[in-house]
Amino acid sequence: MSRTRAWLKLGGAVVAVALGVALLHVASPHVGGAFGRAYDNNTRRDIDARALFYTEVGAVSEFLDVDGGRYGDPGQIQPRRVESAEEPVVPR
Amino acid sequence: MSKEVENLWKSEDYWAIWFSVLLFGGIFAGLISQVAKIGKWVGNPLTALSGQYLGLALLCAGLGVLFTAGVAIMKGDWKGFLGGYLVVFVLSVIAFVIAGQKSLKAWGLGYALWALGFGLIVANTVGTPKWLLRGARSEMFIKTGLVLLGAEILFSKILQLGLPGLIVAWVVTPTVIVFMWYFGTRGLKIQSKTFTIIVAAATSVCGVSAAIAVAAACRAKKQELTLAVGMTMIFTVLMMVAMPALAKFVGMDPQVAGAWLGGTIDSTGAVVAAGALLGEHAEKVAAVVKMIQNVLIGVVAFAVAVFWVTRVDRDPDAPRPSLLEIWYRFPKFILGFAGMSLVFSFLLIPTLGGDDVSAALDLSKHLRGWLFCLAFVSIGLESNFRDLWSQLVGGKPIILYIVGQSFNIVLTLLVAWLAFGGVLFERVYK
C-alpha cells in the first residue's frame, strides 16, 4: 500500500512539474512590469539567461575581441594619473 | 609514499584528472568531434531531441565506458555503477530537455535546477534504490567536470581586458568572501563552515559553478551544495530583474550599472540578460566584468582547499601540519583544475593557436555541462527534503545570503563608480 502511495507521489510530482512548466510558458508573455520587460528582452534577443559560465553565453569572441576596439582594448583604458602626467588634461 | 603512488589510480581526485586528459586527448585526436546538444522547444519537448538520438546514445556509451573503466580500476563495483549510470544519464537528458523550454530559458532556470529537482523527486517519493545509488557518483562527475572547466579559464585572454574590470572583480570578490565567512561563522554562528564558504563563494564569484568548485574543494556535504545552489538560482532570477530596473529608475550611468551588475549577479547568463536591459555598453561591461570574475573560481577553490587543509580541518591542539601532510590531504583534482587553466592559457593557445583551442573548448564545455548535470542528478538522488529543511531552520542560510549579497551590492557599486564612472580611469566608452 505504502509502495503504491510512493509511486502515486512520484506521478503527482511529475504532473506538477509538467503543469508548472506549461503554466509558466503560458503566463510569461503576459507578465508586466520589470519581470515582463526582462522576459520580453530575453526572448526577443534570444539571450540565454541560464548560462552558468562565461563560455556559455554565446559569442564570447564578441566580448573578448580586443583587436576590434571593443571594451578590453588595452590601448583604450589608461589609468588617469598616467595619462595626465604625459599629456595636458583636456576638459571633458 | 607508496600509498600516494597507489592513489594515482585508486582515488577519484586523480581519476578526475585522468578522465579529463583522456577526453581532451579524444578531442584533439579527432575522436570526439561532436557532443550531443539538446535544442530549444516551445510546445513539444520531443523537438529538442530532434536529430540528437544517435549523438545522445554515443555520449551515454562513451562516458559510460570511460567512467566504468575508471571505477573498475579503482576497484569499485563497476557493474553496479553501469546499471545506475544509465538511469542517471536518462534523468540528465530529461533535465536538459526541460531547461531548453523557451520560457524557462528566458527566466534562467537552467539544467542544474531541474537535475537537482528530478533527483530529489525520485529520492523523496519512491526513494533511491541501492542499485541506482551505485551509479550516482556525484563527486566523480563534479571533479571531472571541474578539471574540464579549468581549461575554459583563459588567463591570457581575460588579463587583456583592462584594469577597471579587474579592479571591480578582483577587489570586491575576496572582500565579500572574507566578510561573509566572518559574518557566517562568528556573527550568525552557523555550525557548518563548509556551508558558509560555499554560500560566500557562490555570492561573490559566479553562483552555481563557484559553489560546485568550492564545495568539492572543502569536501562539503551534498545537501549543503544543494541548498546553496537552490538559493543562488532563485536570487539570481530576482536580481536579474530587479537590479537593472533599479539602475534605470535612479538614472545610473550605463557603464557603472553594467559593472555593478557584472560584479554582483551570480550567474553569467543572468548578468548578460540584466546588462542587455540597459543597452549595449552596459551589456558588454557587465559581461566582461563577470568574465574576469569567473577567472577567480580557480583561485578561490585553490585558496579554500589550502585553508581547509591547514586551518579548518586541523586539530587546534596539534602541531602545524608539515608540507607532506598538507600534500596528502589536499584535494588533488584542484591541481588538475588549475593545471588545465595554465596549460591552455600559456601553452596550448600560443602553440596551437586560438582557433584550434576554441574549437576544442567548444566541445569540452558541452561535455562539462553533461558532467555537471549528471552530478546534480546524483546529488538530488542522494538528498532528502528533511535534511535540507533542517539546514534552513532558523533562517540563518537565507540571512547569510541576503546580508552578504547586500554588502556585495553596496561595495560593488562604490568600486564600479570609481573604476567605470571616470574617477580612476578614462571611461571605457566615451
Contact B273, B248 (CB under 8 A): no
Contact B109, B99 (CB under 8 A): yes
pLDDT band at B64 (very low <50, low <70, confident <90, very high): very high
Distance between CA atoms of A74 and A72, rounded to whole angstroms?
A: 6
For chains A and B, count residue pairs whose Cβ atoms are closer than 8 Å.
176
- Single-letter code of the amino acid located at A38: A
Helix (H, G, I), strand (E, B) or coil at A79: strand
Residues of A in contact with B428 (CB under 8 A): 71, 76-77
Predicted confidence at residue A68, as pLDDT, reads 44
What is the rounded average pLDDT of the residues B313-335?
83
Task: Work out the angle between the directed axes of helices B12-28 and B53-73 (0-180°, nearest 10).
Answer: 140
pLDDT above 90 (res B16): yes
Interface of A with B in 18-37 (CB under 8 A): 21, 24-25, 28, 34-35, 37
Q: What percent of chain A shows pLDDT beyond 70?
A: 61
CA-wise closest residue to B88 among B53, B129, B143, B133 = B133
Quote the DSSP letter at residue B191.
S
Whether A49 sits inside 8 A of B273 (CB atoms) is yes
Whether A47 sits inside 8 A of B106 (CB atoms) is yes
Element (H, E) at B133: helix B130-133
Predicted confidence at residue B166, as pLDDT, reads 87
Quote the DSSP letter at residue B319.
P
CA-wise closest residue to A70 among B285, B268, B269, B257 = B285
Helices and strands counted in chain B (H then E): 22, 0
Reported ipTM: the value is: 0.86
CA-wise closest residue to B184 among B383, B405, B410 = B405
**Block residue for cell numbers 568539492:** B216
Quote the DSSP letter at residue B188.
S
Interface of A with B in 47-76 (CB under 8 A): 47-57, 60-61, 63-64, 66, 70-74, 76
Whether A24 sits inside 8 A of B284 (CB atoms) is no
List the single best residue of A42, A44, A73, A84 to mutate versus B (max B Cβ within 10 A). Answer: A42
Cell of residue B198, nine digits: 560555499
Predicted confidence at residue A62, as pLDDT, reads 60
What does each C-alpha distance from B169 to B251, B271, B290, B297 come to in angstroms?
Answer: 23, 13, 7, 11
Tens of pLDDT, residue by residue over B373-413, are: 999 999 999 998 888 888 887 899 999 999 999 999 999 99
Predicted confidence at residue B37, as pLDDT, reads 93
Whether A17 sits inside 8 A of B277 (CB atoms) is no
Contact B39, B48 (CB under 8 A): yes
Predicted confidence at residue A64, as pLDDT, reads 54
Which residue among A6, A17, A83 sits closest to B126, beta carbon to beta carbon? A6
Residue B303 to chain A, least CA–CA distance (Å): 20
CA-wise closest residue to B390 among B224, B196, B203 = B224
What is the rounded average pLDDT of the residues B239-251?
96
List the single best residue of B290, B291, B358 to mutate versus A (max A Cβ within 10 A). Answer: B291
Cα A60-A65-A67 angle, rounded to 5 deg: 170
pLDDT above 90 (res B251): yes
Q: Which residues of B358-380 are buried (b: 16+ CB within 10 A; e: fewer)?
A: eebbebbbbbbbbbbbbbbbbbb
Residue B42 to chain A, least CA–CA distance (Å): 8
Distance between CA atoms of B210 and B372, rounded to whole angstroms?
A: 12
Predicted confidence at residue B320, as pLDDT, reads 78
pLDDT above 90 (res B353): no
Whether B273 sits inside 8 A of A41 (CB atoms) is yes
Residues of A in contact with B276 (CB under 8 A): 41-42, 45, 47
Tens of pLDDT, residue by residue over B326-351, are: 888 899 999 999 999 999 989 998 89
Contact B128, B122 (CB under 8 A): yes
pLDDT above 80 (res A81): no
Cell of residue B407, nine digits: 554588502
Average of per-residue pLDDT values in chain B: 92
Tens of pLDDT, residue by residue over A34-79, are: 999 999 999 999 888 998 888 887 655 565 554 444 454 444 444 4
Predicted confidence at residue A65, as pLDDT, reads 52
Whether A24 sits inside 8 A of B122 (CB atoms) is no
Whether B106 sits inside 8 A of A51 (CB atoms) is no
Residue A80 to chain B, least CA–CA distance (Å): 5
Distance between CA atoms of B385 and B137, rounded to whole angstroms?
A: 20
Residue B14 to chain A, least CA–CA distance (Å): 24
Tens of pLDDT, residue by residue over B26-61, are: 999 999 999 999 999 999 999 999 999 999 999 999
What is the rounded average pLDDT of the residues B259-274?
94
What does each C-alpha distance from B305 to B21, B146, B198, B236 come to in angstroms?
Answer: 22, 14, 12, 26
Whether B162 sits inside 8 A of A76 (CB atoms) is yes
Residues of A in contact with B42 (CB under 8 A): 25
pTM score: 0.90
Residue A53 to chain B, least CA–CA distance (Å): 5
Q: Give residues with Cβ within 8 angstroms of B419, minimum separation 6.
A: B163, B164, B165, B167, B168, B259, B425
CA-wise closest residue to B380 among B170, B181, B121, B103 = B121
Q: Which long-range contacts (CB under 8 A, 24 or more apart) does B120-123 make?
A: B120/B226, B120/B380, B120/B383, B120/B384, B120/B385, B121/A10, B121/A13, B121/A14, B121/A17, B121/B380, B122/A10, B122/B91, B122/B380, B122/B381, B123/B380, B123/B381, B123/B382, B123/B383, B123/B384
Residues of A in contact with B270 (CB under 8 A): 49
Distance between CA atoms of B316 and B216, rounded to whole angstroms?
A: 23
Residues of A in contact with B104 (CB under 8 A): 21, 24-25, 50
pLDDT above 90 (res B201): yes
Distance between CA atoms of B195 and B178, rounded to whole angstroms?
A: 14
Predicted confidence at residue A63, as pLDDT, reads 59
Residues of A in contact with B355 (CB under 8 A): none
Quote the DSSP letter at residue B266.
S
List the single best residue of B103, B253, B376, B384 to mutate versus A (max A Cβ within 10 A). Answer: B103
Whether A50 sits inside 8 A of B365 (CB atoms) is no
